[in-house]
Structure 1
Amino acid sequence: MFTNKGSKGWLKMAEKRKNINIRRTAQVLKAFSEKPKGWGVTELSSHLGLAKSVTHGILRALLEEGLLKKDKDKEIYTCGKEILKLALFFYSNMEITKIARPRIKQIVKKINETVLLIQYIDNKVVVIDKVVGDKPLQLGLRIGVGLPLLRGVASKIFLAFLPDEKVDNIISRNPDPQVDITKLKEDLKSIREKGYAISDEEIYKNILAVGAPIFNKDGKVEAVISTGGLSAIYKNLEKRDKVIKATLTTAKEISSQMGFLNWKW
């Protein structure tokens, strides 16, 4: 049997080149999660260590496919409609989103505030779903937006139910000058005891948020349900208690549907 060694070698080289191009394209796309406001060609090529011509070619191809869009005046590339479609498809097909959304709609009817579903994904705290009430003023966070790792109800809840060693590691790797570490650890202890968290203007001015953990069948925090509104409104303790109770009840119901039965709050 005769083989063409030259032909096989060429095919291997072509396959290798194809894989390199795919990896480079993936690198370019991932870079937009680091800088949602967009990249210029020169800045992005320097950031990724790729030749400017290679970076420009990838950006142009992604632009043609609708995965990116370009501000012609500033020569800046940002995420396009097709990326958003893919993200929304991904989020809408997540089990937690399907289970939680009907319950979230119910709590919004009760308290008439914006309610968020938040997950810890790849070392980032990310909003994965959102339902708003019918008030003129509602919390304007978008699905897909990332939140600080050491501030806010969601981040604190995720930290509260992690081993101490992992918490210390996250704190050391993500310094935040606005965070008092001693106070943070006191808050984490309180969350474990009460089952919920409250933050007042920790991330956004004049906004108070209440959050509670959603556990999966393995007893790990799968997501956080969080409701937020104007701090001034929550000075009414009756209103605040109503929101806390509704948030805890909703978190318990969703956790139960996820297979978690050891709810203690």
Structure 2
Amino acid sequence: MNSLRRMLDVLDLFRPDQPVIDVEIICQQLGYTPASAYRYLRELGDAGLLVRLPRGYALGPRIIALEHQMTDYDPVLVRSRDLVEKLVAETGLDAMISEWYGDAVVNVLIRRGPDPGPAGGGRGRPIDLFHSATSRVVLAYLLPRQIRRIFDAHASTPEAQGQGLEWKAFSKGLLAIRKQGYCISESELHAGRTGVAAPIFDEKQRVLGSMTLVGRNERFRAFQESYLCNLVTTAAAELTARIAQQ
């Protein structure tokens, strides 16, 4: 299992500024030996997850096939589309479904309202863990030791250190989110935009991700805050019930 995890970690090296990787990049950024790097590239290529190019390796066609499979048949997406569409129709705000993956929260479904704007990291991209309602409402329902590990790992980065994150205040804020059952964020991730998010759980009440309504501050304030909070928490609870019944 450890070897499989190490091999799959190679896929995390791909990003917009690094669309092609090679053995040298794997060794430098993951600390693997050249022999391991060559073996993982070969096995991922044989599985169709990577394709060989003159300058190295890029993501392969099987990634696209899996993305299509997930879009059409993923249980969370299939059971959430009508709920998301209803939220957009009733508010004109953007609505999103995001899932917890590794140590990241990733948007998997985004529906735009009539006045769309930036929505987290976009579909398939990780969202800031500390400055968005979408992520914080997920962190609030993790185990305390998980939260502390994630905080220590991310708060020690140069970017986070410049943001003045402090463990006591952060953990206290998560307790408040858990108590009220939702999280509101105003102009944190994107200036002039406000979001409210509620958690989604699996059949064992483990947090899976979140459902979010987000839009321009002016549009958000056109509604009673309690009304929007009730909308998103009710929809998230309905999705949780549907997941438990599948």
* TM-score over 0.5 for the pair: yes
In the TM superposition, residue 40 of structure 1 has moved relative to its aligned partner by 4.5
Please state whether the residue corresponding to 1:84 is helix, strand or coil: helix
Identity %, equivalent residues: 18
> Equivalents in 2 of 1:28, 1:162: separation in Å?
26
1:31 partnered with 2:10: yes
1:47 partnered with 2:29: yes
Does the C-alpha gap of structure 1 residues 238 and 106 become closer, same or farther in structure 2, counting only changes over 3 Å? Answer: closer
In the TM superposition, residue 197 of structure 1 has moved relative to its aligned partner by 0.3
In the TM superposition, residue 237 of structure 1 has moved relative to its aligned partner by 5.7
Write the letter of the residue equivalent to 1:254: L
In the TM superposition, residue 208 of structure 1 has moved relative to its aligned partner by 1.8
Q: Deviations over 1:90-118 (max 9, x none)?
A: 35433222211221111111112221111
Equivalence for 1:12: none
Q: What stretches of structure 2 of length at least 5 have no aligned partner? A: none
Residue pairs, 1:153-172, within 5 angstroms: 153-172=133-152
Q: Which has the higher contact order (CA 8 A, sep 6+)?
A: 2
In the TM superposition, residue 28 of structure 1 has moved relative to its aligned partner by 6.7
Q: Deviations over 1:61-95 (max 9, x none)?
A: 95xx695596x8xx576535642332342354332
Residue pairs, 1:146-225, within 5 angstroms: 146-175=126-155, 176-177=160-161, 178=163, 179-225=165-211
In the TM superposition, residue 155 of structure 1 has moved relative to its aligned partner by 2.2
Q: Deviations over 1:120-148 (max 9, x none)?
A: 12222121222222335463743221123
Q: Is the CA contact 1:68–1:83 (under 8 Å) kept in the aligned structure 2?
A: no
**Higher Cα radius of gyration:** 1
Q: Is the CA contact 2:120–2:189 (under 8 Å) kept in the aligned structure 1?
A: no
Equivalence for 2:59: 79
Q: Is the CA contact 1:114–1:138 (under 8 Å) kept in the aligned structure 2?
A: no
Q: What stretches of structure 1 of length at least 5 have no aligned partner? A: 1-22, 261-265
Q: Is the CA contact 2:200–2:240 (under 8 Å) kept in the aligned structure 1?
A: yes
Please state whether the residue corresponding to 2:79 is helix, strand or coil: helix
In the TM superposition, residue 233 of structure 1 has moved relative to its aligned partner by 3.3
In the TM superposition, residue 229 of structure 1 has moved relative to its aligned partner by 1.4
Moved more, 119-128 or 26-35: 26-35
TM-score calculated relative to the size of structure 2: 0.75
Q: Deviations over 1:154-208 (max 9, x none)?
A: 3222221223233223222322322333332232122122211011233333332
> Equivalents in 2 of 1:216, 1:114: separation in Å?
24
| Number of aligned residue pairs | 233
> Equivalents in 2 of 1:149, 1:166: separation in Å?
13
Write the letter of the residue equivalent to 1:79: L
> Equivalents in 1 of 2:149, 2:112: separation in Å?
35
Does the C-alpha gap of structure 1 residues 44 and 206 become closer, same or farther in structure 2, counting only changes over 3 Å? Answer: farther
> Equivalents in 1 of 2:52, 2:187: separation in Å?
34
TM-score calculated relative to the size of structure 1: 0.70
**1:227 equivalent among 213, 224, 230:** 213
Q: Is the CA contact 2:93–2:219 (under 8 Å) kept in the aligned structure 1?
A: no
